């Protein structure tokens, strides 16, 4: 397999700054505080860059779930850690690296809604257009076709996460 660059580091960072401004504009006048939930592991770089560029009071939370083995979704969601604070009445932004089939995100959203947040929005760095996942994503960085991506938190068998750009395996 050969690694190719799809979005270079500058393009990724510029897109994330644009997304942060969109998020600020959405929440302006609604709230001063935001609870941002990072979906680990893949979203860690995106999450960090995004919240650094949001000019609001941002509280951090993390969930760790997985459904992949190699390049394919297993279809089973494994929860490794979950939100440890109350979300009732809060403005919640779920930060996801990539939305593919939507199964993991759908699972997370159904549980978060049980906490009765005042508002629940989704920011995804990448949305794959291969599947009709049916989840409205409020803030999207890039839309891509059917390609297996790595870098900027995305991995292939735990490799390539630390690349400062988004690439694909040919």
Query: Does residue 152 fall inside a structural domain?
Result: no
Q: Please tell me the predicted confidence (pLDDT) of residue 41.
A: 86
| Domain annotation covers residue 83 | yes
- Which residue out of 84, 100, 119, 138 is catalytically annotated? 100
Q: What are phi and psi of 150, to 5 degrees?
A: -140, 165
- Residue 67's pLDDT is 62
84 is known as an active-site residue: no
- Looking at residue 27, which CATH number applies to its domain? 3.40.50.2020
Could you list the residue range(s) of the whole structural domain that residue 131 is in? 9-144
So what's the pLDDT on residue 142?
Answer: 97
pLDDT tens over the chain, length 170 residues:
789 999 999 999 999 999 999 999 999 999 999 999 999 888 999 999 999 999 999 999 998 876 655 445 556 666 555 567 788 999 999 999 999 888 889 988 998 999 999 999 999 999 998 878 889 999 999 999 988 999 999 998 889 999 999 999 88
* Domain-located, residue 32: yes
* Angstrom distances, CA of residue 85 to CA of 39, 71, 112, 117: 15, 33, 11, 12
161 in a structural domain? no
In a domain, 159, yes or no: no
Q: pLDDT at position 165, please?
A: 97
* Cα distance between residue 117 and residue 28, in whole Å: 17
Q: How far apart are CA 138 and CA 6, in angstroms?
A: 23
With respect to residue 1, please indicate whether it lies within any of the assigned structural domains.
no
What pLDDT does 146 receive? 87
Q: Decide: residue 50, CB within 10 A, 0-12 exposed, 13-18 middle, 19+ buried.
A: buried
Whether 65 maps to a domain, the answer reads: yes
- Looking at the structure of the chain, the number of domains it has is 1
């Amino acid at each position: 397999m050969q690694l190719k660059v799809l979005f270079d580091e500058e393009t990724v960072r510029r897109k994330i700054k644009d997304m942060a401004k969109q998020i600020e504009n959405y929440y302006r006048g609604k709230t001063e505080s935001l609870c941002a939930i990072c979906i680990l592991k893949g979203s860690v770089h995106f999450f960090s860059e995004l919240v650094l560029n949001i000019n609001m009071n941002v509280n951090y939370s993390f969930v760790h779930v997985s459904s992949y083995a190699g390049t394919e979704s297993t279809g089973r969601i494994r929860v490794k850690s979950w939100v440890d604070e109350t979300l009732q009445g809060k403005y919640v932004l779920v930060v996801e690296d990539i939305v593919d089939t939507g199964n993991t995100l759908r699972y997370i959203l159904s549980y978060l809604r049980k906490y009765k947040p005042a508002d629940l929005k989704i920011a995804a760095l990448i949305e794959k257009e291969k599947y009709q996942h049916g989840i409205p994503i409020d803030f999207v960085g890039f839309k891509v076709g059917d390609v297996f991506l790595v870098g900027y938190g995305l991995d292939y068998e735990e490799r390539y996460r630390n690349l400062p750009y988004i690439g694909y395996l040919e």
